[in-house]
Structure 1
Amino acid sequence: MKLGLTTMTGKLVASVAVLGSAAAVASLGTFGTFTSSTDAATTVATGTVAIALGTPGSAANRLTIGASGLVPGDTMQRAVDLSNTGNQNLASIVLTTTATTSSVLNTDATNGLQLKIESCPTAWTEGGTAPAYTYTCTGATTKLNATGVIQTNQALTGLSALTANGTDHLLVTLSLPQTADNTFQTKSSTINFNFLGTQRVGTSK
């Protein structure tokens, strides 16, 4: 009986030893893994879409200077520079005019104020006495718009400002038609000019 127990114990010890050896071999195998890595970095930056008018009150932006005492047949001319100050080309530039102070001058599309916008290839030559400015262009002028004073998203085509760093020399003319009757006397409107530039179409970079 003792012999049998001793033999059994010997087998148990031997089994534990074998299992321990197998675990040791498996553990040693984890240090044999091959690895390799590589990497690269790239910088991505966005562009700038921006348009701007000339300094308010200067010869590059007379739009902030109003006029008074108009009678039928009078005109008001104001030069303004429109520039693409960003680093991206634009798909379009549109003009929206609104009356922040409203009257029949802007609500009557036929007999009220009429708007004309022209461009000159160079800066307009300014004359007259403030605020009754007059302007001449050295070169051929281009008419961009001629409608009633209130406009929504009126496209201004062929502008230099559609290209990054481009500038357009514009002349805004407001006129009161001869057909304006006595109902237009002592009226006042404040017209806001909003130019909106939209980015170019997306492309591969």
Structure 2
Amino acid sequence: MAISLKTTSGKILASVALVGTAAAVAGMGTYGAFTSSTSASQAVTAGTITIALGAPGVNNTLNVPVAGLLPGDKVEKLVTLSNTGNSDLNTVSLTTTAGATASLLTTDTVNGLQLTIENCSTAWTGATAPYTCTGTKTTVLASAPVITANQTLTNLTSLTATKTDNLKVTTAFPTTANDTFQGATSTISFAFNATQRTATTK
């Protein structure tokens, strides 16, 4: 029997044609896809936490020395406490120290100096002590030994950003102090520390 070369050639040509068609379809999938894109940008700035005392002078007399204190005497000092940051605060606390100058005035918690802080909704009036409040007066720190650590202050307007408190710091020398206190001297440092408001979801 004779083999037909014509028939075989026809099958080979048909196979080549099918392969070429499949490649063309695959090429159409690669170069015919739809595309789209978009973008955005977000600016983020951290808040600031800043509290400040008034400059030495009328707005801050804490650094004015006092001499000749006797049992029963009180010393009144005025100071403004301001929230100069752009964020609200959670707390403001006070720490007082005497360091190397510690004496009976600061180490005797009963007969030594006692500290009280009050706030006035308006500026305190009076050229000298005793000062008076013509607005609303609140207690920021109840009477306690003059040396304290991390004592949280209450009734502060300055917990709100840009607000200021008018504080009167009173240091009292108890009448129970005896002769052993004569000539005692100390330098008391005041440090106000603020913490940020509670974190929120924005």
Q: Tell me the TM-score range normalised by the shorter chain.
A: 0.7 to 0.9
Partner Cα distance (1:127, 1:36) in 2: 74
Compute the displacement of 1:31 (Å). 4.0
1:143 and 2:139 correspond: yes
1:113 is matched with 113
SS in 2 for 1:201: coil
Distance in structure 2 (CA, Å) of the matches to 1:50 and 1:72:
38
Structure 2: distance between partners of 1:59 and 1:104: 30
Q: Distance in 2 between matches of 1:171 and 1:87?
A: 25
Q: Is residue 2:197 matched to residue 1:189?
A: no
Tell me what 2:40 maps to: 40
What is the aligned partner in structure 1 of residue 79 from structure 2? 80
| CA distance in structure 2 between the partners assigned to 1:38 and 1:114 by the alignment | 66
Deviation at 1:126, TM superposition (A): 2.9
**Percent of aligned pairs with the same residue?**
52
Return the alpha-carbon distance in structure 1 between the equivalents of residues 23 and 180 of structure 2: 105
Partner residue, 2:169: 172
Does the Cα contact within 8 Å between 2:139 and 2:155 map onto a contact in 1? no
Aligned partners of 1:27, 1:184: CA distance in 2, in Å? Answer: 100
Equivalent-residue separation in structure 1 for 2:148 and 2:177 (angstroms)? 20
Distance in 2 of aligned mates of 1:66 and 1:24: 96
SS of equivalent to 2:180: helix
Which residue of the partner structure matches residue 161 of structure 1?
Answer: 158
2-structure distance, mates of 1:139, 1:190: 32
Q: Which amino acid aligns with 1:200?
A: R
What is the alpha-carbon distance in structure 2 between the residues aligned to residue 42 and residue 50 of structure 1? Answer: 26
Q: 1:134 aligns with which of 130, 133, 158?
A: 130
Number of matched pairs: 197
Quote how far apart the aligned CAs of 1:33 are: 4.3
Q: CA deviation at 1:140?
A: 3.4
Q: Which residue of 1 aligns with 2:201?
A: 204
Higher fraction of strand: 1
* Whole-Å separation in 2 of the counterparts to 1:48 and 1:140: 29
Q: CA–CA distance in 1 between the matches of 2:154 and 2:75?
A: 23
